[in-house]
Amino acid sequence: MIHMRYLQLLKLASPEAVVVLTALVVLSIGLLAKRATFACAFVAGLGLVCAIVAVLLLPDDETLFGGMLVISPLTSLFKITCLALAFFTVLLTGGEKVPRHPGEYLALILLATVGLMLLVGSEELLMIFIGLELLGLSLYVMTAFDKTDVRSAEAGLKYFLFGSTASAFTLFGISLLYGMTGTTGLAAIATRLATTSIQPLLAVAIVMTLVGFAFKIAAAPFHLWAPDAYQGAPVPSAAFIASGSKVASFVVLGKIVLIGFAPAQGSAGWHSMAAGWSPVLAALAALSIVIGNLVALAQSNVRRLLAYSAVAHAGYTLIGFVAGTREGFSAALFYTTIYAVTLIGAFAVVGVVRRETGGDDFSNFSGLASRSPALAGSMAVFMLSLAGIPPLAGFFGKFYLFSTALQAGTNQALLWLVALGLVGSFVSLYYYLLVLKAIFVDVPSLSGAESMRHAPSDFLQCATVTVLAAVVVLLGVIPNVLASRILGAVP
Amino acid sequence: MNPGILSNLWLLPAVPFAAAVVILSLPKSRRKIASGLAIASQVIVLGISIAAFVPTLRTPGFRAVQNFTWFTFGEQTLQLGFVLDPLAAAMLLMISLVGLCIFVFSVGYMADDVNFTRFFAYMSFFSGAMLGVAIANSLLLFFMFWELVGLASYLLIGFWIDRPSAAAAAKKAFITTRIGDMGFFLGMLWLYHGSGTLVFYNDGRGCLEGAGLALLGGSATFIALLIFCGAVGKSGQFPLHVWLPDAMEGPTPVSALIHAATMVAAGVFLVARVYPLFSLGATNGVTSSLTVVVWIGVTTALMAALIAIAQSDIKRILAYSTVSQLGLMMVSLGVGGVAAGIMHLLAHGFFKALLFLGSGSVIHGCHHEQDIRKMGGLRRLMPVTFATYAIGMLALSGVPLFFSGGWSKEEILHATAHWSPSRAPYYLMLAGVVLTALYMTRQMIYVFFGNRRSAAEHAHESPRVMTMPLIVLAIGTVFLSVVLTPAWPWMDDYLTGESAHFSIAELIQPMLFISLVLVGVGIAVGIWLYRKAGEQDRDRAAEVDPLEYAQPAVFRFLANKMWIDELYARTIIAFAWASARLSDWMDRYFWDGLVRGFGAIGQLFGVFTTDMDERCINAGVDETTVGARGLGRLLSGAHSGQIQMYLGVVAVGMLALLLLYAWLA
């Protein structure tokens, strides 16, 4: 019987509580005030900052209710990361054409953020599932939020159906695990699994559990929702799906496989394949890298392109998990954090371009360099970082990731996966440069130039984008600021 | 110990950098603010340099370091840091003091230039980078600042971008020094490989300290020589000296700051800084790497002095003289006289900056004429310039007692004379002393004595803002002669970390008389040769030089800089061109075809997969729906069909993963 310590619970869950309260306040402001856009965004941003402060005030190590709520340097670091990403998403909403219900929209972002924090801060499968659902349901609605756009609704519905199916698989997997081990705490599962040997059932349980996360991180072949969602959803929603949701999913996926499934790791080495989650993830990674990069080559819409590139990047990140070491985990987390920052920035640029030219195809980006040098320069930073060009953060992330993968195992067993990743990132340079070509080289067509509304770029948006670009450059020059922190926090 | 100053050392590069950034963002018309900011930043760094100098003076053998981690790769950490020791402190003081004089001088010299603000931004940028070189405690940080210095030099040499010759000179300087830098970089990699660290001093764990050096063993010779390549490039040593005379295309204050006082001395400073690498395993003070340094230095010193005799551009003469003097410093380091070499570096920084600024003043007065054969008689028209220039000339010629160059040169000769492998460098150095006196006398006579020729007709003395720095530098030159007197060798001991004692006997040595006689001979020969030439009324640009009259072939050989540029053009550059053409051809017809082929395959596959992913799946489902339910229900059912397909993929994917798992198990 768990002895309830409510006061302590309130203290340890204070960041989540702050965000929930903020969500409620934002919701009421949206209902009561008439022109609430600014007020809502301001309160939401303020609430997120308060939550970051609350995280900073948490104790170093604490575990409640058998792992339902875990406070550790790792969870605190990534709670802050998620809150910061949510903060930038809120900044993005500031520039969107006024949604009809700003309060509801921002409240959904905040609730999704709570989902992220629960995911990050839990080592217990039921709680993780609740976080997953809270996050998922908020994101489905956020995707379908633009009621003036049919594609938004379509994307939302597809995302919802796909997501609920994946969740069903995961839930089934979790229930099988519970059946086999009699517990839902990750550490306890690991100790039970070490002694059980019901192999076929374990295989079903592991694969099913992983499906839900493969869906969340958009790993092939569970990625089919991503292009529609990235393209159809309102820009801030897409940015949030691509950044915050991914980071949290990777953190929790890493915890599940590395802590919960530790006894069933198997091996993904070229000559030493052995059954376990490691070869399953390796297969997902390989397929994602191939499909993501190749399909991205043929895209002409920037958001769709980012979606397929996201599939590829999920593949790269999984390599870190396949390595199975502490360094591998930390490299994967470093990589996904950098990726999230970069993508929020890229989506911010897409948002501005979309407002100014009414679309987000390559043709809408042509001539951006002369219209807005700051945005164009920042976009160049984001694209080159995604492609892994030094000295940007993406380069260091990839370098760290691939080098730890090479060190893992004996005899460079993961060389095949790293080689695939290298070839993939080589191919990816082509489509990232296509975007930059549109921005810096192509001359805008006449009709496009006329349809341009010549709205002066919002200062706040430009500043946000520039700050994010600066972060990407800085993390490339002094990666140690973040990398050593993550490495130190990983148990 | 003075931790306060140590933790503030980073300001030295940071303040001028910040000034450069601010100035660059100013509009062109804010000239006063720009020059004011630049000069203020120099005053600040001068203050910091003095503050840094004091503790090193108080404690003999003072050395304090501050290291920090840049980033970590698994087990490896890359550290950077700053060091404060007598070598760094003396360098800092020289750079910031000479720099300040040159900045002030530039206000007058560049007064008419449109890009006045840009000039000061670049100068501040340079100054920051150079100060960074002086305090770097890691070869990597050293290299970074070193490259920034190179970049600043490139920008400043090519400052007058509308002149093709300036652009070409900038390019030449950059590329030539890069050749040396490549050696430097390789040496750095090797050093890291060998000792596992690039930090110079780190409580016994640095690469210049006992444990680090012990790890290197025999490879130290090669590492030292590779690093020396960088010094050869930057300090204009043979065979990479060709860029330095061309670099005179830049504005004269640039020549004074970069190509006389500071940047070119960085190579000498580098050798002095990593001296433990050079001297590792020395027997009787001789190692093979140091021997290479000596011979390169001797060759450079003598060759440049010879070429200088046959030049007619006032700045080029000084440029070759700089090359020659740097060779002298290298010799000094090579034979073991580190302190003497650095002292000469410091003294040279002052008097060569003085000479360059003086030549700038002459050029300014003669309406941008640089040919000495067209000047003459400026003694009366520009008295201040003349007096200060004469002090500089006497210091450079090596007249002892009152002029700083004399004592340090004396020390170098002294050290060279005792070099055990050979006496040849000593005798060649003595020949260099005569030549130096000769070409400087020639220049003095042509510029300041005799009758006025075409360019000197309307010459005028320069404004106060330009003459004041000349006077300050001249005072510095004379003052240094007192400070550097061998009677009280505190500077020597300050650099080597011992305590000084006064001895008048040191002052009078037989060698002093030898060099005095040689300097006298040089000056006398110069006067005898050029006295008549100086009295000519007309332009002598078209007439023959007295030496040319005597030995036309030799003179032409020297006047054309020993044909070294032409030799490079025929060999190295021609080879580079040929291989570039070959690579171009390969690129166009071979690699390009290959890449295009691969690209086409990739694209094809991409299109194919897209078709699979989007058209086949979507359209396939659509078609099925058409077949199964008919056209009427297609429109409403299209979306649900897609989703079913998506979900089907989920199921299939999961099954495939399960099969994989089962197959492996």
pLDDT at B194: 81
The nearest alpha carbon in chain A to B602 belongs to A294
- As given in the structure block, the two tokens for residue B522 are 């040089």
B605 in contact with A, Cβ within 8 Å: yes
Distance from CA of A35 to the nearest CA of B (A): 36
The nearest alpha carbon in chain A to B649 belongs to A221
- Residue A152: phi and psi, rounded to 5, are -65, -45
Q: Which residues in chain A are contacts of B639 at CB distance < 8 A?
A: 154, 157-158
A413, A272 contact by CB (below 8 A)? yes
Q: Which residue has the tokens 């229930």?
A: A175
Distance CA A38, CA B447 (A): 75
Residues near A157 by Cβ (< 8 Å), separated by ≥ 6? A144, B639, B643
Task: Count CB atoms within 10 A of the CB of residue B633.
Answer: 13
- Whole-model pTM? 0.61
Distance CA B274, CA B226 (A): 12
Report the first-to-last Cα separation within chain B, whole angstroms: 67
B658 in contact with A, Cβ within 8 Å: yes
pLDDT at B411: 79
**Position A343 pLDDT exceeds 90:** yes
Q: Which amino acid would we find at residue B504?
A: I
Distance CA B527, CA B546 (A): 12
A261 in contact with B, Cβ within 8 Å: no
pLDDT at B43: 92
For the stretch B65-100, what's the b/e string if a residue is b when 16 or more beta carbons lie within 10 angstroms of its beta carbon? Answer: bbbeebbeeeeeebbbbbbbbbbbbbbbbbbbbbbb
- Region of A358 on the Ramachandran plot (φ > 0 left; ψ -120 to 50 alpha; else beta): left
Burial of B239 (0-12, 13-18, 19+ CB in 10 A): middle
pLDDT at B472: 83
H, E, C per residue of B388-400: HHHHHHHHHHCCC
B657 in contact with A, Cβ within 8 Å: yes
- Residue B497: phi and psi, rounded to 5, are 85, 25
Write down the number of H helices and E strands in chain B. Answer: 30, 2
pLDDT band at A471 (very low <50, low <70, confident <90, very high): very high
**Position A119 pLDDT exceeds 70:** yes
For the stretch A320-343, what's the b/e string if a residue is b when 16 or more beta carbons lie within 10 angstroms of its beta carbon? Answer: bbbbbbebbbbbbbbbbbbbbbbb
For the stretch A123-157, what's the b/e string if a residue is b when 16 or more beta carbons lie within 10 angstroms of its beta carbon? Answer: bbbebbbbbbbbbbbbbbbbbbbbeeeeebbbbbb
Q: How many residues does chain B have?
A: 665
Task: Count CB atoms within 10 A of the CB of residue B16.
Answer: 29
Distance CA B286, CA B412 (A): 16
Share of chain B above pLDDT 70, in %: 86
Residues 384-443 of A with CB under 8 A from B: 403-404, 407, 427, 430
B75 in contact with A, Cβ within 8 Å: no
Distance from CA of A291 to the nearest CA of B (A): 8
pLDDT at B305: 87
Boundaries of every domain in chain A? 265-491
pLDDT at B208: 79
Identify which of A200, A178, A201, A190 has the alpha carbon closest to the alpha carbon of residue A255: A190
Q: What is the ipTM of this complex?
A: 0.82
Task: Count CB atoms within 10 A of the CB of residue A460.
Answer: 13
- Residue A456: phi and psi, rounded to 5, are -65, 135
Distance CA A24, CA A373 (A): 39
Distance CA A312, CA A178 (A): 33
**Position A446 pLDDT exceeds 60:** no
Distance from CA of A11 to the nearest CA of B (A): 36
Query: Do the chains contact at A298 and B70, CB–CB below 8 Å?
Result: no
Query: Do the chains contact at B646 and A158, CB–CB below 8 Å?
Result: yes
Task: Count CB atoms within 10 A of the CB of residue A190.
Answer: 18
Q: Which residues in chain B are contacts of A280 at CB distance < 8 A?
A: 657, 660-661
Looking at residues A49-74, what average pLDDT do you find? 87
pLDDT at A313: 94
Distance CA A176, CA B254 (A): 77
A152, A146 contact by CB (below 8 A)? yes
* DSSP class of A325: S
Q: Which residues in chain B are contacts of A297 at CB distance < 8 A?
A: 602-603, 606-607
- As given in the structure block, the two tokens for residue B598 are 């691969």
- As given in the structure block, the two tokens for residue B163 are 């002149």
B388, B470 contact by CB (below 8 A)? yes
Distance CA B469, CA B357 (A): 8
Cβ-Cβ pairs closer than 8 A, A with B, add up to 107
pLDDT at B631: 37
Q: Which of B607, B643, B654 sits opposite A208 (nearest CB)?
A: B654
Best residue in A169, A211, A294 for a mutation probing chain B (most B CBs within 10 Å): A294
Q: Which amino acid would we find at residue A150?
A: V
B72 in contact with A, Cβ within 8 Å: yes
pLDDT at B204: 74
Burial of B548 (0-12, 13-18, 19+ CB in 10 A): middle
Q: Is the peptide bond before A491 cis (omega within 30 degrees of 0)?
A: no
**Position A317 pLDDT exceeds 80:** yes
- The strand pairing partners of B81, in sequence order, are B67
Residues near A103 by Cβ (< 8 Å), separated by ≥ 6? A26, A27, A28, A29, A30, A31, A36, A40
- Is the torsion defined by CA of B441, B443, B445, B449 positive or negative? negative
Q: Is the peptide bond before A391 cis (omega within 30 degrees of 0)?
A: yes
Q: Which residue has the tokens 């860029």?
A: B243
B227, B185 contact by CB (below 8 A)? no
Mean of the per-residue pLDDT values of chain A: 86
Distance CA B321, CA B326 (A): 9
For the stretch B267-276, what's the b/e string if a residue is b when 16 or more beta carbons lie within 10 angstroms of its beta carbon? Answer: bbbbbbbbbb
- Is the torsion defined by CA of B435, B441, B447, B451 positive or negative? negative
Query: Do the chains contact at B602 and A427, CB–CB below 8 Å?
Result: yes
- Residue A424: phi and psi, rounded to 5, are -60, -45
H, E, C per residue of B194-213: HHCCCECCCCCCCCCCHHHH
Q: Which residues in chain B are contacts of A215 at CB distance < 8 A?
A: 650
Angle among Cα A204, A205, A208 to the nearest 5 degrees reads 80
Summarize pLDDT for A393-432 with one digit per residue, the tens: 999 999 999 988 888 876 678 888 899 999 888 888 888 9
pLDDT at A59: 84
Which helix H or strand E contains B433, and what residues bound it?
A: helix B424-448
Q: Which residues in chain B are contacts of A222 at CB distance < 8 A?
A: 649-650, 653
| Residues with pLDDT less than 50, chain B | 1, 541-542, 625, 628-641
Distance CA B372, CA B444 (A): 9
Distance CA A471, CA A316 (A): 21
Share of chain A above pLDDT 90, in %: 37
Identify which of A184, A44, A149, A170 has the alpha carbon closest to the alpha carbon of residue A103: A44
Q: Which of B607, B662, B665 sits opposite A298 (nearest CB)?
A: B607
Distance from CA of B70 to the nearest CA of A (A): 7
Which helix H or strand E contains B65, and what residues bound it?
A: strand B64-73
Residues near B351 by Cβ (< 8 Å), separated by ≥ 6? B391, B392, B395, B396, B403, B404, B405, B473, B477
Looking at residues A317-344, what average pLDDT do you find? 92
What is the Cα Rg of chain A in Å? 22
Q: Which of B72, B650, B652 sits opposite A480 (nearest CB)?
A: B72
Distance from CA of B225 to the nearest CA of A (A): 30
pLDDT at B630: 47
Looking at residues A24-52, what average pLDDT do you find? 87
Give the three-class secondary structure for A96: coil
**Position A271 pLDDT exceeds 80:** no
Give the three-class secondary structure for B162: coil
